[in-house]
Structure 1
Amino acid sequence: MQDVKINSYQFLILVIFFTVGTSILTVPSALAADAKQDAWIAAIIGTGIGLLVIWLFITIALWFPHLTYIQINEKVFGKWVGKTFSVLFVLMSFLYTSQLLYYRGSYLNIHALPSTPMVVLNILMVGIVVMGVRLGLETIARSAEILIVVFFVLLLILVVFISPEIKFENIQPVFEMGTKKIVQSSLFYFITSSVNAVILLMIFPSFINKMKQVKKSFLIGNLIGGIVIIIITFLSVAVLGPENTARQSYPSYELAKRINVGDFVQRIEGLMAALWIIALYFKTVLYFYASVLGMAQILNLKDYRPLTFPLGMIAVVLSLVVYPNVIYQQNWDSTTGNSLSLSIGLFSPLLLVVVYAIRKKQLKKET
């Protein structure tokens, strides 16, 4: 498994897709619910805080550049304590894989294919996720290289065509909610885009062949993804208004429905849906890849591929029961989900830093 290698540019693209992922659908409404017209400022602050978290992940990874996060846990904490942390990490990755399947299935069920059962949509999605993971990280990265062009072309079309609908009075008065409220509201975005990026330590830097540029790739990828979310959040608030943005489950989809150029270019939200499906797919693939690779390393398996089909089937079942309804989903995401991500994605790495500082001399002797 260690023979797999991608280049730093491919990793940068994967970081962009991971950062954008679900955020492009859910973050504008979550930010607008708390920060109102200052939601776009909250997105800027969340992006800035997120870069500090990414820097923490880079620091940890470069201490052990040839190990994945699972292997780092066992190295620093010891075999059994390390495996305990690793199991929690894998369970979080797998749970979030199922949640992303739910997001995509729910989104298509509501807006595009209302007569199609969600189980069918989720099975189809899992099919291509499992196919991608079985083909390997190199195949995933190469397909991302192609689809990133499609993604940014669609994003440019959305931004250009919706710009005439911007009403600057919707974002006024600026800073009305106050700095404290804005920073608090940025928490959800900072967790989804940056704290959860801890799963990328299953790739970074052990599977990347150019170590010189690898740090920049992680930071720049997260920054570009953050800029995309800032733009989408700003457009949502400026076009739809803060109250309407907060009410919408998927404000960026509603944004695409407002496109009307000369009564000719309109009703292109189906085309815009491709933008979100692409980002969701790659984020789901990365979570699932981290799950199966992490499980294989915990069990000391030589290959992760035998785990893909059984875990894929479990993910489909879990995606159907993980959220009973939308209200439960929104409440879970803003409470338990945040706590879970912070525990495994931030506090666990910080604890790893403390233990490494204590055991540094001993670990160097062992290597």
Structure 2
Amino acid sequence: MPEHGRLGIRQLTILTIMTIVGDMMMIYPSVIANYSGQNAWLNAFIGIPLGMGLMYLYVKLADTYPGENLFGILRNILGYWPGTLVSLFYLMYFIFGSSTQARVVGDFMTSEIFLLTPIRVVLLIFFIVIGWGIFNGLETIGRSGEILLPIVTVFMFILVICLLPQTDHKQLLPFTDTTMKQITEGLLVSFIYPVGEAIPILMLIPYVNQEAHRTRDLVIGAGFGNFLMAVLVTTSMLVMGLFLTQHNIFGSFVLSQKINIANFFQRIEVLMASSWLISTYFKSTIYLYAFIIGTAELFGFKTSRFLVLPSVLIAFALSNIVSPTITFIVTLVIPYWLDWDITMCLIFPVMLLIIHLIKNKVRFKKNTV
């Protein structure tokens, strides 16, 4: 395998949480509100057990061939050439995922904080840090996650607690003002977007030191990450209502601007934005890392370090051309991205498990004859 670093199960769980939270911390309320309507907060909470079930499915897929990453599993289940073809689709998914998440960071920074700074400068700095983290190896990424996860979690709960005086439970009503189509699409968004996009974790599982409690910890981690998102959506609905939640792309940033306790504790939106930048950094890093490891796996390289620089440059270039504006991402990219997520994060994993079970039954029958 091209990676020689090792992770503890706690570090893998933390990276899973970071990948689930990621860019969703900023855009998730707007996305799910547009799909679910008035019941966005309810769908977000229903999505917690669904997301935990999806993570359980990923772990079971990893258990089919212990010691293999996602690309190795694909080749073992589908065969060498069909597995390689599907792996190429996942490579494209990983590199576009990393680039798009970085692009959202660039759009946010240049539209809300650094208004006169060219977006290419922000993206370049962001990818330099990503490349440096990947170059230093998986263990460095894992230990950094252990240090920075408490910051993300604490800032999230500060946001919620400080906004409690401004909440209005009537903003959640009425419960029945939602069509069946909105309920179905909202439920898909509630677990496919946050937890489904954690599928690059399957590229990290072979590098975990111990197997004990792996399933339990990853499923709980998925539930915790999705719970944070559900709390954020509910807070946004309670404070801003449905219309403003739908039409504020960077919802949590707008929420943080509303914090004002005794005209003293206020103007902390940049601190809140820093927690989102941290989580998005880890998500973009994991996606790009999965692309690099996957490329090395497909082409049989013994090491992947020499792929870091060209991969970072490709992701940087894609982040500049993947979308002209954040409005383009929200109105055109996200609806189709949901279909892409459903295909890559739900349909393919379920299909792989079904094929694996069928192959095992066929082998069992041949052995008993």
TM-score scaled by structure 1?
Answer: 0.95
> How far apart, in 2, do the equivalents of 1:24 and 1:34 lie?
17
> How far apart, in 1, do the equivalents of 2:39 and 2:22 lie?
22
What does residue 336 of structure 1 align with?
Answer: 336
Task: Give, in angstroms, the shift of residue 262 of structure 1.
Answer: 0.1
User: Which amino acid is the alignment partner of residue 349 of structure 2?
Assistant: P
Task: Give, in angstroms, the shift of residue 327 of structure 1.
Answer: 3.5
Say yes or no: does 1:223 pair with 2:223: yes
What does residue 154 of structure 1 align with?
Answer: 155
> How far apart, in 1, do the equivalents of 2:13 and 2:52 lie?
14
Say yes or no: does 1:79 pair with 2:80: yes
Q: 1:362–1:71: structure 2 CA closer, same or farther, 3 Å change rule?
A: farther
Contact residue 24 and residue 276 of structure 1 kept, 8 A? yes
- Structure 1 residue runs of 5 or longer lacking an equivalent are none
What does residue 236 of structure 1 align with?
Answer: 236
Say yes or no: does 1:18 pair with 2:19: yes
> How far apart, in 1, do the equivalents of 2:110 and 2:126 lie?
13
Contact residue 7 and residue 208 of structure 1 kept, 8 A? yes
What does residue 41 of structure 1 align with?
Answer: 42
Contact residue 8 and residue 217 of structure 1 kept, 8 A? yes
Task: Give, in angstroms, the shift of residue 243 of structure 1.
Answer: 0.6
* 1:164-197 deviation line (CA, Å, top 9, x unaligned): 1111111122343256533322322422212222
- Structure 2 residue runs of 5 or longer lacking an equivalent are none
RMSD over aligned Cα atoms: 1.8
TM-score scaled by structure 2?
Answer: 0.94
Q: What SS class does the counterpart of residue 65 from structure 1 fall into? A: coil
Q: 1:2–1:117: structure 2 CA closer, same or farther, 3 Å change rule?
A: closer
Task: Give, in angstroms, the shift of residue 203 of structure 1.
Answer: 0.8
> How far apart, in 2, do the equivalents of 1:164 and 1:107 lie?
27
> How far apart, in 2, do the equivalents of 1:304 and 1:189 lie?
35
* 1:55-91 deviation line (CA, Å, top 9, x unaligned): 1111110121211011111111111111111111111
Contact residue 208 and residue 214 of structure 1 kept, 8 A? no
Task: Give, in angstroms, the shift of residue 362 of structure 1.
Answer: 8.0
What does residue 121 of structure 1 align with?
Answer: 122
Task: Give, in angstroms, the shift of residue 315 of structure 1.
Answer: 0.9
Contact residue 172 and residue 237 of structure 2 kept, 8 A? yes
User: Which amino acid is the alignment partner of residue 70 of structure 1?
Assistant: F
Moved more, 161-170 or 115-124: 161-170
Contact residue 19 and residue 193 of structure 1 kept, 8 A? yes
Equivalent residue pairs, number: 364
Moved more, 269-278 or 25-34: 25-34
What does residue 291 of structure 1 align with?
Answer: 291
> How far apart, in 1, do the equivalents of 2:86 and 2:109 lie?
35
User: Which amino acid is the alignment partner of residue 118 of structure 1?
Assistant: I
Task: Give, in angstroms, the shift of residue 361 of structure 1.
Answer: 6.7
Task: Give, in angstroms, the shift of residue 12 of structure 1.
Answer: 1.1
> How far apart, in 2, do the equivalents of 1:16 and 1:231 lie?
15
> How far apart, in 2, do the equivalents of 1:334 and 1:285 lie?
20
Q: What SS class does the counterpart of residue 212 from structure 2 fall into? A: helix
